[in-house]
Structure 1
Amino acid sequence: MSTPLSGPSADPALASGDLGELAWIEVIQKMDQVYSDLLQHEVALEEKNRALEESHQFIESVLASISDLLIVCDRNGTIQEVNSSLEHFTGKASAQLLHTPVFELFGDSDETAKARELLISHGQAGAHDCELQLRAGNGALVPVSFNWTPRLSRTGKLVGMVVTGRPVGELRRAYEALRQAHDDLKRTQSQLLHAEKMVSLGRLVAGVAHELNNPISFVLGNVLSLRRYTTRLDKYLDAVHGTAAAADPGLAALRAELGIDAIKRDLQPLIDGMIEGAERTRDIVDALKRFSAVDKAARDSVDLADVIRRSVRWVVQSAPTRFQVSHDLPPGLSCQGSSGQLQQVVMNLIQNACDATATTPQPSLHIAGMVSDRWLTIIFRDNGPGIASEHMAHLFEPFFTTKPVGQGTGLGLSISYGIVERHGGQLTAHNHPDGGAVFTLTLPVRTR
């Protein structure tokens, strides 16, 4: 009788079943791991795709918001990307522009040759502020200022160019607006400085005018009394000479020796001159008082042509005989204001022209008037040497004068400027291209 078998090999079928089950379990575990990895990769891929889409949308929004013309091309000049500004400028959609040579956008063969030269010679370094003619959508050639910037790979190899441009007309308008703003700022600063000086001067002038008013009134009153006394003395001397000359022949000789008759003849003109000087001084003080305070007097209708003619007559009478004044004054030169103050302005301008042309062989002044719907303009042009450039900015400043010491106070133009400003007008000065100084007085036309 044989011995029975024992151990793992005792049942081969059972052993084979256990091994198959373990293999399947291992395969299923591997499949679960692979599936989990696939899910993780898919989530990561979706996140990267979303980030890529957001980045693409951001780039598109940036390109759309750029007002300058933008072209992205490869190293051969083939357009790869454009923005909406270029589409609007050329009148073509991006689909018509992409994959076409960038050189086709330029005006003619010369401009195309320039663009090729820029791409070839400045490919690695780029170029800035290159003006080229670009063909607009309406067919017109528009000058555009371009900047060419190279696109390089990671290894530093040239792969293309980024071209940006702006129409030169826009740049010029921007520069003009900037220049105008700068001029306005300088003018405002100058006006503020002038206003501060005028305020300080007003305080000073108010005190000076007040102090001068009393002695001038005293002098004028005494001279008027002296003129009355002179008439009485004349009558008395004539009476004494008429009755005593026959009885005393030496009295007539003494009268002739002392020049009593000459004194009598000169006495009245001398007194009249003193009165005129005192009155003119009083008028100057009154003008200073008006200059230092706002004029609240009622405004009347002023015939400026009559004011000018009267001022010319008064100034010319005391000026050298060779100073000639001509005028061309149309009808309707009427404004609202103070006739006396405006006459002071006109006389000051005429007198300044007379002084400025003193060394001219044939000194002259021409006054021309013009009337528009709202403004009347009076132009005073002399044939003198003109105004020095370094003096132009200080012309209306208080106490500024180019005359020698003792011959000018530097207040005439400042007072005139203030009077004109209070009348709602403007007083300006410049040099004429043909020589001589030109003062322009502008006032609002009288309202009916």
Structure 2
Amino acid sequence: MVTMISLNNAKPAPTLDDLIGIGHCKIGFYKALQHKVEELEQANQELLINRKKMQLILDGITDLMLVLSEDYIIQQTNHVAAEWYPDTDVIGSPCYQILRKRTTPCPECPVQLAITEQRIVKDLCSFTIDSHLKYYEMIASPMPKDSNGLRRVLLFKRDVTLEKRYQVKYAQSEKMATVGTLAAGIAHEINNPLTSISGFAQGLQRRVNKLVGRVEDELVADFDEYTETIITECLRCRDIVKTLLTFSRPLESTRSIVRLNQCVGDILFILQHHLKDQQNISVKTTLDPNLPVILGDESQLKQVIINLVINAFDAMKDGGEIEIITRKGMDNTVKLIFKDTGSGIAEEILEKIFDPFFTTKQVGQGTGIGLSTCYGIVSNHQGTITALNNQEKGASFTVLLPEAIL
């Protein structure tokens, strides 16, 4: 059977106009596509430029920046993380493990508070790093939820140790000025009755001999002992008042060339009798023979050395070693270091030890003005004095003084 195909149902062949129309459509499509590609390329270039600008801004931030999940896992960091923790895989680790070397979240964590209350939380933390107390400002700022609906926090960690030290120095200067004002006001009022007490006690002491043979010998001895004690304590009070006056006005002094090594030797010679009484304490000196000279008041600087050596003695009731070191410092300075193997300084009082009248000794054993006097003398010599705990044991006091310009 032969199937007949109807020619009437066949599609008509495309004409030339149809082909030209299709060509124009393709050309328009390609032009539109090309235009869209150019727009995308331009948008991509702008995005790259903006990204570089943002990266420059982020690279210019010297604070540590961390993006944390709500379970404290570090998701993103800036370049500071690699500088602070060079050999640590920070991404994916808990923040308390990286920042605090802990195995559990920190108590009163600002990150948790920021997530819970959805507000910016600031906190000041202190860390002991290589025996140095450092301060960091922590700022936790809540972020929008991620694509999975999980909450995140942006954490900034900024080193404010230098600012804190300047604040402490400023506060110390304010305290010294306040004490100076008080000292100047009360010194005269204290000295007058002290002079009277001492004078009458000396008068009684001269008349004690007239009682010999008239009263019991034991009573005469008691009177002699009591008057001697009164005079001794009056002289002690006079020295305390004299020291207090150093806070109220700069000590008048004549600056001259001072050799710290010689000062250390002179003081150790003077303290020989004190060293003999402290048989379980040894003194070691490591003095730089080429130490530059300084310009200052030798007697005042010797007072600083005496106070710091005796302070080290008092910190080693069970014995130990004091090492006195002199060496050249940076930026044309000279270092004088006192290291002991005593009990060290409690972290909570480390910032207070140079405060006038602050002491950890029992009543009657210390006035609390020895270290503050050192602070005042060193400051008047345009120097600095700092204290820190040694990594192994004990504490160190470092005096930094400028070299003399000859």
TM-score, normalisation: structure 2: 0.55
Cα separation, partners in 2 of 1:58 and 1:297, compared to 1, 3 Å: farther
Name the residue aligned to 1:348.
307
Cα separation, partners in 2 of 1:256 and 1:410, compared to 1, 3 Å: closer
Name the residue aligned to 1:285.
244
Cα separation, partners in 2 of 1:350 and 1:213, compared to 1, 3 Å: farther
Q: Deviations over 1:265-308 (max 9, x none)?
A: 97997687457425422432223324xxx668653333333443
2:178 counterpart letter in structure 1: R
Which of residues 423, 427, 435 in structure 1 aligns to 2:393?
435
1:213 counterpart letter in structure 2: H
Structure 2 CA distance for aligned equivalents of residues 372 and 41 of structure 1:
80
Matched, 1:339 2:249: no
Structure 1 CA distance for aligned equivalents of residues 158 and 188 of structure 2:
43
Give the root-mean-square deviation of aligned CA atoms. Answer: 5.1
The structure with higher relative contact order (CA 8 Å, sep 6+) is: 2
Structure 2 CA distance for aligned equivalents of residues 180 and 230 of structure 1:
58
1:371 counterpart letter in structure 2: K
Post-superposition offset of 1:211: 0.5
Matched, 1:303 2:259: yes
Post-superposition offset of 1:437: 1.8
Structure 2 CA distance for aligned equivalents of residues 262 and 189 of structure 1:
57
Secondary structure in 2 aligned to 1:286? helix
Structure 2 CA distance for aligned equivalents of residues 311 and 183 of structure 1:
43
Q: Percent identity?
A: 24
Tell me, yes or no, if the aligned pair for 1:216 and 1:281 is still in contact at 8 Å: no
Cα separation, partners in 2 of 1:311 and 1:261, compared to 1, 3 Å: farther
Which of residues 155, 162, 165 in structure 2 aligns to 1:187?
162
Which of residues 396, 399, 411 in structure 1 aligns to 2:354?
396
Which of residues 27, 33, 39 in structure 2 aligns to 1:54?
39
Structure 1 CA distance for aligned equivalents of residues 313 and 366 of structure 2:
13
Q: How does 1:47-86 map to 2 (within 5 A)?
A: 48-60=33-45, 62=47
Structure 2 CA distance for aligned equivalents of residues 208 and 275 of structure 1:
17
Which of residues 158, 166, 177 in structure 2 aligns to 1:202?
177
In terms of fraction of residues, the more helix-rich structure is 1
Secondary structure in 2 aligned to 1:446? coil
Q: How does 1:215-294 map to 2 (within 5 A)?
A: 215-216=190-191, 219-220=194-195, 223=198, 254=213, 258=217, 273=232, 276-290=235-249
Secondary structure in 1 aligned to 2:334? strand
Post-superposition offset of 1:201: 4.8
Runs of 5+ consecutive residues of structure 1 not aligned to the other structure: 1-30, 68-127, 131-146, 148-165, 242-250
Secondary structure in 1 aligned to 2:40? helix
Q: Deviations over 1:308-339 (max 9, x none)?
A: 34544555656844354443444546322333
Q: Deviations over 1:86-125 (max 9, x none)?
A: xxxxxxxxxxxxxxxxxxxxxxxxxxxxxxxxxxxxxxxx
Cα separation, partners in 2 of 1:349 and 1:272, compared to 1, 3 Å: same
Post-superposition offset of 1:438: 1.8
Tell me, yes or no, if the aligned pair for 2:180 and 2:246 is still in contact at 8 Å: no
Structure 1 CA distance for aligned equivalents of residues 265 and 228 of structure 2:
26
Post-superposition offset of 1:433: 3.6
Structure 1 CA distance for aligned equivalents of residues 359 and 401 of structure 2:
25
2:327 counterpart letter in structure 1: M
Post-superposition offset of 1:368: 2.1
Structure 2 CA distance for aligned equivalents of residues 438 and 222 of structure 1:
41
Q: Deviations over 1:177-209 (max 9, x none)?
A: x99996642331343145235414522442134
Tell me, yes or no, if the aligned pair for 1:315 and 1:351 is still in contact at 8 Å: no
Larger Rg: 1
1:327 counterpart letter in structure 2: T
Post-superposition offset of 1:171: 5.3
2:36 counterpart letter in structure 1: A
Structure 2 CA distance for aligned equivalents of residues 173 and 180 of structure 1:
18
Structure 2 CA distance for aligned equivalents of residues 445 and 214 of structure 1:
41
Secondary structure in 1 aligned to 2:325? strand
Structure 2 CA distance for aligned equivalents of residues 372 and 201 of structure 1:
27
Secondary structure in 2 aligned to 1:348? helix
Q: Deviations over 1:31-65 (max 9, x none)?
A: 7x999999898677645532321312432564588
Cα separation, partners in 2 of 1:59 and 1:191, compared to 1, 3 Å: same
Post-superposition offset of 1:364: 4.0
Q: Deviations over 1:215-270 (max 9, x none)?
A: 22553487479769978x79xx8xxx9xxxxxxxxx9x827964899799979976
Secondary structure in 1 aligned to 2:166? helix
Structure 2 CA distance for aligned equivalents of residues 371 and 356 of structure 1:
27
Structure 2 CA distance for aligned equivalents of residues 287 and 447 of structure 1:
27
Name the residue aligned to 2:59.
none
Cα separation, partners in 2 of 1:200 and 1:281, compared to 1, 3 Å: closer
Structure 2 CA distance for aligned equivalents of residues 268 and 399 of structure 1:
28
Structure 2 CA distance for aligned equivalents of residues 432 and 51 of structure 1:
68
Matched, 1:444 2:354: no
Cα separation, partners in 2 of 1:266 and 1:411, compared to 1, 3 Å: closer
Runs of 5+ consecutive residues of structure 2 not aligned to the other structure: 1-16, 53-72, 87-98, 100-133, 137-156
